[in-house]
A and B are shown apart, each in its own frame.
Chain A
């Protein structure tokens, strides 16, 4: 008789890492941060039809309590510095989704003098969502991809090859 059969049926067993990741991925709070037309689609994603709240993602009004920044729209050079500042204010572990062509690579405006062609030049990006602008379903898929990534993380195992900053 193995140990697993000695506990009642109402008890679930899991790994601590998995449990922690499950709780974290089920409450990805994203910062209200809209830059351009993609922000309209982001609002739709948070709205009743697409309802990002189903996955535990709710908008927060300040970076200091946010886990995720969705860079939605054309990033100008002027805004790039501010985006970096906002990202640095977020507590770790923090994640970033680049939404739409403009945030991914500058998109239609990448040759303009005022546009930062790609938000990944300023902050590290976890998930890129293509589209111009992406539909709410696409952004939802991006969040699910991010949840997959969070679920794969291992916090309790010390990784010897990772330098401590």
Chain B
């Protein structure tokens, strides 16, 4: 199915929660309202004509200048051989989005990674712990204003430049 028709179907069902226009590219981009993400995801997965059974990727972008955090959902349908990318934005000081881990189980770890590195809280996620960084780590390292701590459990993170002998 073409991206315009997918976009039209979503507009029909969710109205203004779907922004107008489809971004060009290999993965056509549909900008959605984060609050209705779970419903949008359910439609995309369960509607037989859409059949998006694969969440290829879930990634986050820190748009510090706009005070926003973007979360991207790259969806693919093995049955229909079509693809679409969803873009949801959330305010940077308190980024909150509904989870989609009950729709695509892979989102469990991907959302944990996004929480770990960018601090996006996924509501109703079954187990929102850090995935990559240590459990007692402070801060979210992919935020643009993240400051690396001087030490971690007595291990200094500072080393003189190797160029200076």
Contacts and interface: CB of A to CB of B under 8 A. Distances in A.
B134 A117 contact: no
A158 interface: no
A80 B132 CA distance: 14
Contacts of A121: 155-156
Nearest to A117: B159
Nearest to A121: B155
A58 interface: no
B133 A117 contact: no
A158 to B, nearest CB: 33
**A80, A113, A118, A122 pick with most chain B CB within 10 angstroms:** A113
A121 B152 CA distance: 11
Contacts of B132: 78, 114
Contact of B134 (A78, A110, A118, A122): A78
Contacts of B157: 77, 113, 116-117
Contacts, number: 34
A144 interface: no
B19 interface: no
A147 to B, nearest CB: 29
Given A113-B148, A121-B155, A81 B134 contact: yes
A43 interface: no
A80 B137 CA distance: 14
Nearest to B153: A81
Interface string A101-120: 00001100010011011100
B134 A113 contact: no
Nearest to B134: A78
A122 B159 contact: no
A26 to B, nearest CB: 35
Given A113-B148, A114-B141, A78 B159 contact: no
B141 A105 contact: no
Interface in B95-133: 132-133
B132 to A, nearest CB: 7
Given A113-B141, A113-B146, A114-B141, A77 B134 contact: yes
Interface of A: 77-78, 80-81, 105-106, 110, 113-114, 116-118, 121-122
Given A81-B153, A116-B155, 15 more contacts: A77-B134, A77-B153, A77-B155, A78-B133, A78-B134, A80-B155, A81-B134, A105-B159, A106-B159, A113-B141, A113-B148, A113-B157, A114-B141, A116-B152, A121-B156
17 contacts: A77-B134, A77-B153, A77-B155, A77-B157, A78-B132, A80-B152, A80-B155, A81-B134, A110-B162, A113-B141, A113-B157, A114-B132, A114-B133, A114-B141, A116-B152, A116-B155, A117-B157
